[in-house]
Amino acid sequence: MKTLTVSVVTPDGPVLEDAYEMVSCKAESGELGILPGHIPMVAPLTISSIRLKQEGSSERIAVSGGFLEVRPDQVTILAQSAEKPSDIDIDRARRAKERAEQRMANKQSDIDFRRAELALKRAINRLDVKNNNF
């Protein structure tokens, strides 16, 4: 089976580098499924999960924004943050979700609302990846 080298990098450093058969992710333009030999491209990512398939098993990484760079034998994900399920602190994500919901309920400025909305998305995304909720 052909594979792609996938690297996930954040400002805090590398999160993962390994060979996979397929990478699925959610770009701003929609869902992308990347197989070895894909044409080169760059796409902005949403707050979402990356699915990495390897020999029948698959794993997920929670990412919050950033870019995907595809080359025929390599995928690089440069994300603001990226966590494997085992690195996700569920209580922290629950607290972040509650905080964001409260901020959205006491709506102040549009900018604050938008920031709370993004924080809520990050928290829900982390909870989904931790609970394998797809």
Residues 6+ apart with CB under 8 A from 114: none
89 binds ligand ATP (CB under 6 A): yes
Point out which span in 38-46, 67-75, 91-99, 104-112 binds ligand ATP (CB under 6 A). 91-99
Please report how close the Cβ of residue 126 comes to ligand ATP at its closest, in angstroms. 5
Instruction: Tell me the C-alpha distance between 120 and 105, whole Å.
Output: 12
Kindly tell me which of 71 and 80 has the beta carbon lying closer to ligand ATP: 80
Which 3 state secondary structure label does DSSP give 43?
strand
Instruction: Tell me the C-alpha distance between 115 and 111, whole Å.
Output: 6
78 binds ligand ATP (CB under 6 A): no
CB count, 10 Å around CB of 6? 21
| AA identity, residue 8 | V
Task: For tokens 């549009």, name the residue.
Answer: 110
79 binds ligand ATP (CB under 6 A): no
87 binds ligand ATP (CB under 6 A): yes
Among 8, 23, 75, 93, binds ligand ATP (CB under 6 A): 93
Residues found near ligand ATP in the complex (CB under 6 A): 12, 64, 81, 83, 87-89, 92-93, 96, 119, 122, 126
